[in-house]
Amino acid sequence: MLLPLLLGTTLVLAFVVPGQLREQSSARLLTVAGAVASLQVQACVGAGDSAELMALAVAKGEPAAAALRRGLERRPGYGSIMRDRTVVVSSPSVPSGAVVDVVPARGCSTPIQPPARVVAAPATFLPFLTDTVSAAGLGPVQSVTAVVATPLDGSRLRGWLRDIGVGADVDLAVACPEGTTASTAAGPRNARLRAFAVSRLGGGREGLPGSSQEVVDAGAGHPCLVVAATSSSQGVAAPWLLFTLLGLALAMGAPLVWWLARQLTRPVVAVTLAAERVALGDLSVRLPVVRTDEVGRLAQSFNHMAGELEQQLAEIKHSRDLLADNVQRLGDALQRTHDLDGLLATVCALSASTTESVRATAWLVEGNSLVARVAWPPESLRSSAGRVPVEGTLLGRVVSTGLPAWTVAEEQPSVSAAVPAATDAEDRSAPLGGAALAAPLQRGSDTLGAIVVERAPGSPAYSRVSGATLASITGPAGIAMDNALLHRKAQRLSVVDPLTGVGNLRMLTSTLTAEVERARHFSRCCSLMIVDIDNFRDVNSKYGHAAGDQVLAALAARIAASVRTIDRVARYGGEEFAVVCPELDPTAAVAAAEKVWNAVRDMPFEVDGGSIVVRVSIGVASWPEQARTSTALLRAADNAVDLAKGLGRDQVVLSERPSD
């Protein structure tokens, strides 16, 4: 009995124990590498949070330098803030390898594909975890982009090893897709570890001679490959130790072998099971710490890592709550916006981002239909239906009920009936064919339009929470739209003559000044004609002032129909009208004036009192031939009208001399 037992013990010590030691070393290295990859995720999330904080702060009006300083004060790193991809402010003394002056092709939180070939960067280039966040600005503020790069050097790697409680026998190395590397080792081993990391990143499968190592490939949130390695003599028991253990086993017998195997395998199994639970999303798992050796320290490190991840998840949820608060603040700010298209573009971008949609479109009510006004992304407006009827569509339900509504593709799960739902496969207001959600833009009890957000086919359906979130955005936006429409109406009334419907004197002077300045800047020409009704007092005396007003309105319409669409007609005085004619030289301006003159002569004006024959005198002046300024151009055309009346009225006269 004793001989088979001793033989079995010998076999166990010769084959099982070394294997268990190697598995334990491999599991330890894999856990360390996984923990470092998780710390990369934390650093990447931190960089993204800092970038989001800076972008939102600048979008709300905070100075860029203050936002950059506040965003980087809790995390080591470098950053920049851009408006429309132009750097406004950046960190000073940015080291080699940190790219913060342009928007990176992808952030560290973006899923990556392993590169087919990696070229090692110069040793002076450090690896960085870089992330970027963009936010739409308010009012005159352009789109704001913040970039944050946090270094991933040897010092930081050593700090991570200390945080997870790993001794100096483990060396770390990272290799990033740009070819930058870092390592905790020193001397020649440092160069070998970095070269090995670059080789594995590029798809190599060779091992590291003289070492035991484990590799965690790059992924979303940790774009840099991680290598954890120990010397072969540290990861597995040395041969002399095996022979010593063999002698002890032969002396102590099978109970010792059984006890040793149990002590070696139980911690490894516990760590493996706990790691699998963490991988499935259970961050509350903890390992019992009952030993003070490396297994105990590994359990402590594992517990620390799980606690950090759980805390980071709580911080992410807190950040989402802050984002919801910022949405509310943005809604308050939108009520002060007067640019209708800019307002709708901001609302579309915010709606798509908040509801995790790929497209958002703003529709406005026009009669019995709705018209697509603004979309996000902007280029998607070209693929919209343009105009859809109110009846029988998703938008029609929103306009008629004033409540959010869904349309869901056939393959999508049904939506809660708490909010109106629809399944219109041919609804042109949601052309992507996936899940769609609409909420009204209202002014009091009146519906001005709706915002429609869409997801790609196969994406999850919208929930009741999504409908409430979109409604919280469109509610303030409807008030802001009302303000913008009232502002636009007030602007239009301020430059329109109420009797004739053409521009007033204010519009004339501002338009003439702008056109003369444009002609001066581009070395072009600009002309002005003044049309004066001959003997208009006789019309008022014979037919009455009401008939005179009808003649003025009809003459304004006939002048507008006789000139080009780019020409601007305005009422200059009581019975005088002016026409600003860009890009016309004196000859062409006289021809245009004669066309107006003939249009007036060809047909009498019909009023309530009968037909009235009207004749006009037209004075023409051009810049720069007859004037050097807009004021002089107006005076020259006025003088030409006086000359036409002096020559007998009912004719077109070109100003003959320059007017200073």
In this structure, of 32-36, 154-158, 240-244, 553-557, the range with the lowest mean pLDDT score is: 240-244
Mean of pLDDT values over 86-108: 76
| Tens digits of residue pLDDT in 245-254 | 566 656 666 6
pLDDT of residue 235: 46
Burial of residue 426, with CB atoms counted within 10 A of its CB: 0-12 exposed, 13-18 middle, 19 or more buried: exposed
Give the separation between CA 228 and CA 165, rounded to whole angstroms: 14
| Tens digits of residue pLDDT in 305-358 | 888 888 888 878 876 775 666 566 566 555 556 677 788 888 888 888 888 899
In this structure, of 150-154, 396-400, 469-473, 483-487, the range with the lowest mean pLDDT score is: 483-487
pLDDT of residue 254: 62
> CA dist 61 to 6, 51, 559, Å?
80, 16, 48
| Tens digits of residue pLDDT in 623-647 | 999 999 999 999 999 999 999 999 9
pLDDT of residue 490: 62
Residue that is written with structure tokens 């307002």 in the block: 343
Question: Which domains are seen in the chain, by residue range?
Answer: 1-275 (no CATH), 335-489 (3.30.450.40), 505-654 (3.30.70.270)
> CA dist 304 to 76, 228, 266, Å?
21, 18, 20
| Tens digits of residue pLDDT in 178-209 | 888 889 888 888 888 888 888 888 778 788 88
Mean of pLDDT values over 372-379: 84
User: In this prediction, what percent of the chain has a pLDDT beyond 70?
Assistant: 80
pLDDT of residue 417: 38
User: Taking the model in full, what pTM does it have?
Assistant: 0.36
pLDDT of residue 20: 77
Q: Cβ distance 500 to 552 under 8 Å?
A: yes
| 447 closest CA partner among 395, 407, 405 | 395
pLDDT of residue 416: 39
Give the separation between CA 370 and CA 389, rounded to whole angstroms: 6
Give the separation between CA 452 and CA 394, rounded to whole angstroms: 9
Query: pLDDT band for position 2 (50/70/90)?
Result: very low
pLDDT of residue 409: 45
pLDDT of residue 526: 96
Share the mean pLDDT of the chain: 81
pLDDT of residue 252: 64
522: Cβ contacts below 8 Å, ≥ 6 apart: none
pLDDT of residue 157: 86
| Tens digits of residue pLDDT in 293-303 | 777 888 888 88
Residue that is written with structure tokens 């600003």 in the block: 580
pLDDT of residue 164: 85
pLDDT of residue 326: 57
| 268 closest CA partner among 33, 38, 31 | 31
Q: Cβ distance 409 to 434 under 8 Å?
A: yes
Give the separation between CA 178 and CA 193, rounded to whole angstroms: 17
Q: Does 113 or 579 have the greater pLDDT score?
A: 579
